[in-house]
Every structure is written in C-alpha cells, then in structure tokens.
Structure 1
Amino acid sequence: MNKTSIIDTAVLKEKVQEYAMKVGRISARPVLLLYFIMISKDTPKSDKLLILSTISYLVFHVDLISAKRLPIIGWIDEAFSLSVAYQKVCKNITPEIERKTDELLDKWFPEYTNYIKVFD
C-alpha cells in the first residue's frame, strides 16, 4: 500500500528557501538539515512531527514573541526551538543528508561557493 503524505514538502522547501535568503547560508544550514531528516524514510514519525512543527514555526509568519516589538527576545524563541529540535534529531544526520544539504546550499548561495574556492 502506497501512503500519501499530508505535507506538501515542495511548498515547505520553498518556504525554507525564502527563510534561507533572509538569514543567510550559515543560519539556514541547520534548518535545511532538519528538512532533509524530516523527509527521510528512516526518521521516526515522532521526530518528523517535531521537525515539522519547528520548521513551520520558523518559516511561517507566526511568532509567540514578536521580533518587531522585542527584537532580541523575539529571536530567542526561534533559536531555542531550532536548537531543541536539532539536538533531539541530530543522530539521524547521515553523510547523504549532509551532502544534499551542502549541494542545495551551494545552489542557493553560489557566491559563497565561489568565495570559498578563491581561498582554497
């Protein structure tokens, strides 16, 4: 039996890309790693739900604490949710997920890739 997903991963990936363009390559890397862990067949459903809720909280415009009203405190809740999810599921990061993440980041941020090649 072929199960269909209720999550449109293509839309979520687009939102992750929009988020990445705002925060930059280095800050986007953990979010993208979480995305690839979430879509992996080997990841337990409980971890997928944790990752989905974390990514959704980051990329969709819903904040418990407004970053516009309280700039520093407004970003702490997002950083906290990301770090908790990352610590919980980082055991699921495989070399394949690392490779996919780096390839996609190179595609999204080609200027960074060219910058690194200059200094190698």
Structure 2
Amino acid sequence: MNEHDYKRFYSDQSFQQKLRDFAKTAGIQVAYAALLLYYLMKDPSISFKTRLTIAAALGYFILPTDAIPDLAPLVGFSDDLGVLIFALSQISSNITPQIQEKAKDRLRLWFKNIDESKLDELHDKIF
C-alpha cells in the first residue's frame, strides 16, 4: 500500500475510537504523536498536501492490519510510532505551540501522571 491507500482508512470517528481504545496500551508517545497530527489536520491554514500526509499516517495508525499487529506485547505499536514520527518530521514546521498544548491537554485527561521527558524524547526525534 502507498500513502494514498492509507488515507482512505482515515476518518475522525475511526481515529478517535482507536485512540480511545488503545491510548494506554500504545503508550504516551504514540498517543501524543497521533494527537499532534490530528490537531494539525484540524488547522484550516495547512495545505492540502500536508492534510494528505497526515491522513495517510493516521490511516495507517487506524488500519486494522499493519506490519506488526497492535495487540503484540511491547512492539505492537512500534511500526505505528515510526509512521507517525516520519509524518511529523515531514510537516514539523506546521506544528505550533497551541497544537502541542491541545495534544498535551488530551493526554492529561487519559494519563494520570504524564512523564514530560517521554514527550521531550519524541520532540527530539521530530524537530
């Protein structure tokens, strides 16, 4: 499958359902990366090409069959994280502090104690 095939699997509803169901299993970095992309896609100022990149990455994330099954202990979301990080690195100049804060606010609802160092590690990979 190429990038354009994955975007057909993306919808707001399917993304939110998967993230709600798997946020704790996937871990804070996967959830944060997905939320950054999600909130960036909602920004009306981003280009169509950027939206396609985001839709493809989030489509891969919610795809029920991927390279490593999401139910596999410890490694199930590693391929998802790789795809999300790659997409984020391609469009990182579009990620504003406001988008970062929206994503962190959502994480605070889902996780009791956010380890900010895990988010910093992800930022180092993206920016």
TM-score for both structures, normalised by structure 2: 0.67
Which consecutive unaligned segments of at least 5 residues does structure 2 have?
1-9, 117-127
Deviation at 1:99, TM superposition (A): 1.3
What is the CA deviation profile of residues 57-109 of structure 1, one whole-angstrom value per residue up to 9, with x for unaligned ones?
1123121x3448x9899766434322220101111111211111111110111
**2:20 alignment partner in structure 1:** 17
What is the CA deviation profile of residues 23-44 of structure 1, one whole-angstrom value per residue up to 9, with x for unaligned ones?
1223311111011111111111
**2:113 alignment partner in structure 1:** 112
**2:47 alignment partner in structure 1:** 44
**Cα distance, 1:33–1:48 mapped onto 2, change above 3 Å:** same
Taking only the aligned residue pairs, the percentage that are identical comes to: 25
- Tell me if structure 2 keeps the 8 A contact 1:37–1:97: yes
The CA distance in 2 between the partners of 1:16 and 1:74, in whole Å, is 14
Please say if 1:35 is aligned against 2:38: yes
Structure 1 residue ranges (4+ consecutive) displaced by more than 6 angstroms after TM superposition: 70-74
Q: Of Structure 1 and Structure 2, which has the larger fraction of its residues in helix? A: 1
Which of the pair has more CA radius of gyration? 1
TM-score for both structures, normalised by structure 1: 0.70
Alpha-carbon RMSD: 3.1
**Letter of the aligned partner of 2:89 in structure 1?**
Q
Q: Name the SS of the counterpart of 2:113 in structure 1.
A: helix
**Cα distance, 1:67–1:10 mapped onto 2, change above 3 Å:** closer
Which consecutive unaligned segments of at least 5 residues does structure 1 have?
1-6
**Letter of the aligned partner of 1:32 in structure 2?**
L
- Tell me if structure 1 keeps the 8 A contact 2:14–2:62: no
Deviation at 1:22, TM superposition (A): 1.9
